[in-house]
Amino acid sequence: MLKPVRTRARASLAGGRFAIVASRYNARYVDGMLRAARAELKRAGLAEVRVVRVPGAFEVPVVAGALARQHPGWDAVICLGVILQGQTSHAQHIGEAVTAGLTQIAVSTGVPMIHEVLVFTNEEQARVRCLGKEFNRGAEAAQTALKMAAVMRALAVADDGIPF
């Protein structure tokens, strides 16, 4: 279900570091999500937002994994891509591989991987979800990244209130 884009910034994450891995394939739609995600993160007043472009959706996990292992670490990595279903099952296989890869990276590194590598059956679906102002999966991805960063920061504080 699509949710309206909210524009509330999270001041508690000022100084945060976020990365975005965005596919160049189906650029019209991915760029729409990228613009919305960057605008949302900018409103939050983050110290650093790094964008890395990759050729296609299949390449997103390898770069996301490399970012997750960097030090100093990233608070979250937002992964953006659009896969349009063709006449074969290739799109479904790519989508499943990306999902499995991002899940494995998130669990093994502890860095939230925000998964917005989307598989659509037609361009109308992509237009509505990637180019809209009221509903945009890029803005939703940024909001999720901010929320997950706050959750992870809260977990990093021991019971006695002293960060690990």
Digit-by-digit pLDDT tens for the chain (164 residues) are 555 555 454 446 667 899 999 999 999 999 999 999 999 999 998 889 999 999 999 999 999 999 999 988 999 999 999 999 989 999 999 999 999 999 999 999 999 999 999 999 999 999 999 998 888 999 999 999 999 999 999 998 755 566 55
Q: What is the pTM of this model?
A: 0.88
Query: CA 2, CA 16: separation in Å to the nearest integer?
Result: 27
From 71, 90, 93, 115, active-site residue:
90
Active site residue 90: yes
For residue 57, what are the CA distances in angstroms to 11, 73, 82, 105, 129?
A: 32, 23, 7, 16, 17
